[in-house]
Chains A and B, each alone.
Chain A
Amino acid sequence: VSSIGEDPEQRLGAEASVGWCEPAIEDELPGLQIALSETRLPGRAVPSGPAPAAVRERLAALSNRFNGSKAINLRRESVPAAYRVFFRHIGLDPDVVRTPIEEAVLERMFDGAFLTRSLLADVLLIALLDTGVPVWALDADTLHGTPGIRMSRQGELGEQDEGGQLVIAAGDAAVWPLFTAPKAPHRPRNGSRRLLLYALQVNGVSWLAVEETLWICRSALEAVA
């Protein structure tokens, strides 16, 4: 585990590194970390384009692995359970605002399968299902500064926002709440070539699982040629 600096080239080669976190949050929620890993997409890969056959097959294989029984027993497994506990700690009811893995598995129950959406969405979903650790992607070229975790300021998330929400921040303008998808300018587009993947580690989730989720995404995206 290493802390990373502002240099994008430093991020590019690293397996996974840790972003910053406000000290007050670190003290209150020990174990919460943002793990980052940067990847460069091969020339033919389009993040919002259709997923290649290998990715779709992997998704189909995962669809067979996740049935109703698995969906219910998921909350007893160590990694999904850790995210449920963390949701309680940050004031979210995991039965109302579902953890990413439970949300994905419940969608599979309703859809009958993990439906393919796009290359990037499918790869992120595969990594989530394999490890239980949620991962998101950012367009690295649109970021000013390394993403980290801090508390929102008043009005930062909208007029109604009183501040104090836990958010991912990358520079002053880019802010979105923890466990939600990144906002529009930083969401990967078709032309995005450099992606910054980030995963959220919480207390009870091993660094190995976090590294694994980032590695799955990186290797799958880099393999698309």
Chain B
Amino acid sequence: MSRSEQLSVAPEPLANTVGAEAEAAARQALRRQIAKLERELSQLVAEGFPDIPATCSGAHRRHGPRLLGLAELERERDALVASLGEVSGLAAARAERHRRGRELLAAMQLEPARYKFVRLRAVDVGEAGCGVWRVQPRLGLIGMLAGWWRVTLSSGCPLAKGRVRARPSLHRPASSYGRHLSRPGAARLLSVPRSAHRGRPHRGEHAHERAPLALGHRSDRLLLGHRDLR
């Protein structure tokens, strides 16, 4: 190979090296972007659940874990950006709904007589729990006729578990109980009958007679009822 030929050939591998390094740097930059987007998305979903569902962000990919190339990382990043945009929209709508709820609550508290029998859920003003704000007459019918209106807040979620006699259908060993959740009507198994909350426990009602599963927390039930999670 002549000297002129060597000169013309030599820069090519160098260009390849520089190109490979640049591409590796670009992949790392994309991974950092993906990490940032994923954290922002998780933050929004955690704050906004169940108004913001914890759904899949992209198409169902069938391949296993692998090193992604530049184009695949770009696609991943773009899918996350799209998801984040969608979720941000939902978060903004949720914030707007809470703002309107708080305004309504303030108005209800200022002039209850103008909002007779209006009900406002605590979750609609951005508060946790199952409470409901209601405009009710003081002293029932008398208050209604006299125009004595007031805003009350209900006591919130029903108790997670009570000293109740479980129905025969609830008497299952803990190990097999969860299997029934997938069956139709499983939701009914999760709710304790209303009558069960009434009164004190009868003689012979012992701890082992309680419902074996206590799923009283609202978020538990929301999670179980959320179809997107499975």
Contact = CB atoms under 8 A, between A and B. Distances in A.
B26 interface: no
B34 A111 contact: no
B221 A68 contact: yes
B187 interface: no
A74 B213 CA distance: 23
Interface residues of B, number: 47
Interface centre among B213, B219, B230 (most CB of A within 10 A): B219
Given A76-B42, A91-B65, A67 B220 contact: yes
A40 B215 CA distance: 39
Interface centre among A71, A112, A179 (most CB of B within 10 A): A112
A147 to B, nearest CB: 16
Given A76-B42, A88-B80, A106 B65 contact: no
Contacts of A112: 174, 177-178, 181, 212-213, 215
Interface centre among B39, B42, B63, B219 (most CB of A within 10 A): B42
A116 to B, nearest CB: 7
Interface string B3-42: 0000000000000000000001001000100110011001
Interface in A29-53: 29
Nearest to A75: B42
Interface in A65-80: 67-69, 71-73, 75-76
Interface string B196-230: 00000000000000001101011111111000011
A85 B60 CA distance: 17
Given A109-B224, A112-B213, A93 B58 contact: yes
21 contacts: A68-B219, A68-B224, A69-B220, A73-B46, A76-B43, A85-B38, A85-B39, A88-B35, A89-B34, A91-B61, A91-B65, A92-B61, A95-B55, A95-B57, A96-B60, A96-B61, A112-B178, A112-B212, A116-B175, A151-B67, A178-B65
Interface of B: 24, 27, 31, 34-35, 38-39, 42-43, 45-46, 49, 54-58, 60-61, 63-68, 72, 76, 80, 174-175, 177-178, 181-182, 212-213, 215, 217-224, 229-230
7 nearest CB pairs, A to B = A111-B178, A68-B219, A68-B220, A68-B223, A75-B42, A90-B65, A69-B219
